[in-house]
A and B are shown apart, each in its own frame.
Chain A
Amino acid sequence: MKQLHRNIKRIALCLCALFLLLAGYGAYNIIVNGNRWFSSSSNTFARTQKKNVIAGDILDRGGVLLATTVEGKREYAADAAVRRAVVHVVGDSQSNVNNGVEAFMAAHLYGFNMGFGERLSYALSGETRKGDTLHLTIDSQLAAYIAGIFPAGRAGAVAVMNYRTGEVLSSQSFPNFDPMRVTAAVKSDPQKPFFNRSVQGLYTPGSTFKIVTAVSALQNMPDVQSRAFQCTGLREIGSRVITDAGTDLEAGKITRHGQLTLLRAFQVSCNNTFAGLALEIGDAALRKTAEGFGFNDNFLFRDLVVENSSYPTENRNEGEIAWTGAGQSALTASPLHMCMIAASVANDGVMMEPQILLSAVSARGETRTEFAPRAYRTVMTEAQAAVLQEYMRAVVTGGTGTAAGISGVRVCGKTGSAEVDTQENTNAWFLGYLDEEDAPYALAIVVEEGGGGGSVAAPMAKKIFQWLLEKE
């Protein structure tokens, strides 16, 4: 009987644990996924409720009105250039853009986060409920400026963030559109203006991925900085041939870098060296580093939705592994994620979580939500970050990215010219940052079929950096 009682007590403990599990998992889900589920397009309830609430305003970091409700109708920024430049971040009332602030923060905008007392007072006073005002981290003037310098008619994306805090200053996709004039031509445009390339576009990162390969080399090959590498211009690995930019086999032109150090290889973006590094590091170790940087992770950021980046796990033969080291193969990443990678180098190895909401303020002036900066991960040691900072500086002072250089300012960066099988021309990439204490900004630029990163994207980066420095 005594043993029976003891056993029954143990059973009771297990049953209690089951209930704790239910409550715990439920709470976890609501905290992590609550807003994603709420703003899902399957939520018919939220849609019907919108009729009973006046949606809140959306402001940029300088207080510029980006969206407001006038007599029950949603209106966007007064300046058409600003309106177009921020449309992918803000979203639109027809939900043409996926996961814009209008959709993803519907809970705030439509007052679903109200407390019990607030609801009651609205109900008693008979006033129509008013949603929260959202202050975003976006700088709408910067956005308009970037839209002005982005090559006309091209598709692509630009992301700018503060690498110390993770605040996103701009996240833009091209072509954009005017949310107040959505014409049939916009809807049928083959370049898909509604598509938010900055966070949804999964691009081959090309040579910009060499930042990750270099970090992996530092992690896995202790002597790599003192080694000498040999670039012969052509290297056959399995069924694939590794070539460098400028090589044209039909014309008999082959780019050769000869003997070089890791620094020099990074500076001139030598595919051969980085392919060799990938083989030497090995697929598993390189993948581990890439996953440390957020590849293959399920991004669950607090206030914005970023498509997951992927490091390939299938069809891994030697040729594919080698090309992965140079950022090709089946690697994909969004421009905002690549911006975070540049930012992590600048921020001494700590990758900050991107943030788009400064604060949400209720119609009665109370701050409902305010986010403090949050680190996503520490992706490398400070010492490794220092090496990469030196390398990225060298790219701008005497490598492929000289076009981004500004005299008297420490601009750092990495170019990329990513090959895509279905395209004639390469995608032009530039990742970079300002190594300046009072202008801690990182950016990522991609111009689809733009050509060389150094010649197309780097000059744009220079202009954006100059704009940011003037503003400070």
Chain B
Amino acid sequence: MSKEKKSRRRKNPALALLGPVMLFYFLAFFLLGLKDANWESFLLSLAVPVMILIGTAGISRLFPADQLLLSLTNFLCALGVLILYRFSPQRGLAQAVNYGVGVGGMILCAYVVRYMPGWKWSTVLMMGGSLLLLLLPLVIGTEKNGAKSWISVGSVSVQPSEIVKLALMLCLAYLLSQRRVLLSIIFAGACLMILMLQKDLGTALLYYGVTMVLLYAAIGSLPLIGVGLAGGCGAAIVGYQMFAHVKRRVAIWLNPWADVRDAGYQIVQGLIAMVNGGVWGVGLGLGNASVIPEYYNDFVFMTILNEFGLIFGLIVLLMFLFIILRGIMIANRSRTVFHALLATACSTLLALQTFVIIGGNIKLIPLTGVTLPFISYGGTSLVSSLCIIGFLQGVASRNEAGVHADRALAERGGEGL
């Protein structure tokens, strides 16, 4: 009994965080309302905190959710809505709708992981479906920023690779938990090949990273990882030689200042937005980050640095890190290899995606177009990021259930004596 109380008290810090977070968004939208004399902003200054309250405290009533994970993701998602709304109310509201859909996806994914009795046949189904879905853009797809990775269904455009990302993690976790190493490599390899054909190199990099990390976690064989790394480097070199736009990207990365008006414009303006923000930021609503192409998408982190400053940016980075480390903790507490690998895959993917896009923004690595999880504008990306959190929640609730079962067993054992 006392143990249970303790564990409930331990969860409280996450709830204690809720107050300041709600206040932050209340003030932010309130100030935006004052600035533009806009009743919609005032409305949002109440609606967003309430949504966060429901999203954090309400959802955890549906199943034993990890509240720390919930409150962190809610904060980041709301930050996305705020920064998008500040530049374009239309985009901000659309993102809020995406967020609602994403929360539905998260709950669904959590339930699937929690209650799915077996994964054998669904894995087979997912593998086939994934490959078909990935091939689709090549047939009926539209090209965006040099990559042919989008399909349009009616008025909605969807990036299949974002959905397949989820399937990939489930399939790899299952296959590797069954020691089907060869099959998992073949499947991941096939996905990578198709992504290369789509020229969606950023996503390919993420798939590759997750596959390598999972292989290492499951097998721990360094020679195999060495071969994989060598293969990755080889693919990178071949990609560099084959694709003109890869060469261009690398050249821009090496010196974006060589052509500040055209090729290097985006990166240079991003860097300038960052230093304009300084330590404290220029202030919400006062920056001009919209001069950066894709300021609401790939470069949203630079927009945040511009308006909120470096310290806030570091805090956001820390929040990502906390989410990731929480995921690792969930992985290490899980009772089956499958769940451990799934949670590891979720953490790794979020970490790599954050690293690849922010690293590209600040010129640490060449820029590849992936989104910043939870914050970037875009339905598919936000929903899939929240689904990943759903997987983690599902694993966490299984862990919790396991702990309860153990305790029940122990108590019954005690009675038996």
A interface residues with partner B (beta carbon < 8 Å)? 1, 3-9, 11-12, 15-16, 18-19, 21-23, 25-26, 29-30, 33-35, 37-38, 40, 42-46, 48, 112-113, 115-116, 119
Contacts of B218 on A, CB cut-off 8 Å? 4, 7
* B216 contacts partner chain A, Cβ-Cβ < 8 Å: yes
Q: Which residues in B have their C-beta under 8 angstroms from that of A112?
A: 276, 278
In Å, the complex CA distance between A7 and B219 comes to 9
Point out the residues of chain A lying under 8 angstroms from B331, CB to CB. Answer: 8
Nearest first, the 8 closest Cβ-Cβ pairs linking A and B are: A12-B328, A15-B351, A7-B217, A18-B355, A38-B275, A25-B364, A34-B275, A37-B275
- Shortest Cβ gap from B292 to chain A (Å): 11
Query: For the side of the interface on B, what is the size category?
Result: 35 or more
Q: For B364, what are the chain A residues with a Cβ–Cβ distance below 8 Å?
A: 21-22, 25-26
In the assembled complex, how far is the CB of residue A460 from the closest CB belonging to chain B, in whole angstroms? 37
Which residues of B from 329 to 358 have beta carbons under 8 Å from A?
331-332, 337, 340-341, 344, 347-348, 351-352, 354-355, 358
CA distance A38 to B273 in the complex (A): 9
Given the contacts A4-B340, A11-B213, A42-B268, A22 and B276 also touching, CB distance less than 8 Å = no
Docked CA distance A101–B240 (Å): 42
Chain B 94-119, CB-CB to A under 8 Å as 1, else 0, gives 00000000000000000000000000
- Which residues in A have their C-beta under 8 angstroms from that of B352? 18
B177 to A, closest residue via Cβ:
A4
Q: Are B271 and A45 in contact (CB under 8 A)?
A: no
The complex places the Cα of A203 from the Cα of B363 at a distance, in Å, of: 33
Q: Can you identify 15 A-B contacts, CB atoms within 8 angstroms?
A: A4-B218, A4-B220, A4-B340, A6-B220, A8-B328, A8-B332, A8-B344, A11-B216, A22-B317, A25-B364, A26-B362, A33-B271, A35-B275, A37-B271, A112-B278
Q: Are B217 and A30 in contact (CB under 8 A)?
A: no
**Chain B contact residues, CB within 8 Å of chain A:** 213, 216-218, 220, 260-261, 268-269, 271-276, 278, 280, 282, 287-288, 291, 310, 314, 317, 320-321, 324-325, 328, 331-332, 337, 340-341, 344, 347-348, 351-352, 354-355, 358-359, 362-364
B328 near A43 with CB under 8 A, answer no
Contact residues in A for B347 (Cβ distance below 8 Å): 12, 15
A42 and B328 contact, CB distance less than 8 A: no
Min CB–CB distance B190 → chain A (angstroms): 24
Q: Is the CB of B344 within 8 A of A3?
A: no
Q: B residues within 8 A CB of A46?
A: 276
How far apart are A159's CB and chain B's nearest CB, in angstroms?
A: 26
Q: Is there an interface contact between A4 and B325, defined as CB atoms closer than 8 Å?
A: no
Among candidates A23, A115, A116, residue contacting B317 with C-beta atoms closer than 8 Å: A23
Q: How far is the CB of A36 from chain B (nearest CB, A)?
A: 9
Decide if B268 touches A45 in the complex (CB within 8 Å): no
**CA A30 to CA B288, docked complex, whole Å:** 19
Chain B residues in 8 Å Cβ range of A6? 220
Query: Considering only CB atoms, which chain B residue lies closest to A4 in the complex?
Result: B340
Given contacts A11-B217, A22-B355, contact A48 B288 (CB under 8 A): yes
In the complex, the answer to whether B314 meets A23 with C-beta atoms within 8 Å is: yes
Q: Is the CB of B362 within 8 A of A22?
A: yes
A30 touches B275 (CB 8 A): yes
A43 neighbours in B (Cβ, 8 Å): 272, 276
What residues of B have a CB within 8 angstroms of the CB of A115 in the complex? 280
* Beyond A7-B216, A22-B317, 14 extra complex contacts between A and B, CB < 8 Å: A3-B220, A8-B217, A12-B324, A15-B324, A19-B317, A19-B320, A22-B364, A30-B274, A37-B268, A42-B261, A42-B272, A43-B272, A45-B273, A45-B276
Taking CB atoms, residues of chain A closer than 8 Å to B276 are: 38, 43, 45-46, 112
CA of A119 to CA of B281, assembled, Å:
11
A44, B288: Cβ atoms closer than 8 Å: yes
B321 in contact with A16 (CB, 8 Å) = yes
Bound: A116/B280 CA distance, A = 7
Q: How far is the CA of A48 from the CA of B272 in the complex (A)?
A: 14
Select from chain A the residue with minimum beta-carbon distance to B220.
A7
Chain B residues within an 8 Å CB radius of A19 = 317, 320-321, 351, 354-355
A18 and B351 form a contact (CB under 8 A): yes
Q: Are B363 and A29 in contact (CB under 8 A)?
A: yes
Bound CA span A12–B343, Å? 12
A93: min CB distance to chain B, Å: 21
Q: Would B272 and A40 count as touching, CB distance under 8 A?
A: yes
Nearest Cβ distance between residue B324 and chain A, in whole angstroms?
6
Are A45's CB and B288's CB within 8 A?
Answer: yes
**Bound complex: CA of A416 vs CA of B272, how far in Å?**
42
Most chain B CB within 10 A, of A33, A34, A37, A44, is at A37
Report A-chain residues with C-beta under 8 Å of the C-beta of B288: 44-45, 48
What's the minimum C-beta distance from A126 to chain B, rounded to whole angstroms? 16
Residue of A nearest to B343 (CB): A8
A442 → chain B, closest Cβ, in Å?
32
Partner of A1, one of B260, B278, B314, B337: B337
Interface contact A12-B310, CB-CB below 8 Å: no
Min distance, Cβ A31 to any Cβ of chain B, angstroms? 11
Q: Tell me which residues across on chain A come within 8 A of B325, comparing CB atoms.
A: 12, 15-16
Nearest chain B CB to A17's CB is how many angstroms away?
10
Measured CA separation A7–B214 after assembly (Å): 10
Are A42 and B260 in contact, CB atoms less than 8 angstroms apart?
A: yes
Min CB gap A2→B, angstroms:
11
Measured CA separation A368–B208 after assembly (Å): 48
**Which residues of chain A come closer than 8 Å to B340, judged between CB atoms?**
1, 4-5, 8
| CB < 8 Å neighbour of A22 from B272, B287, B359 | B359
When C-beta atoms are compared, the residue in chain B nearest to A41 turns out to be: B260
**Complex Cα spacing A8 to B268, Å:** 37
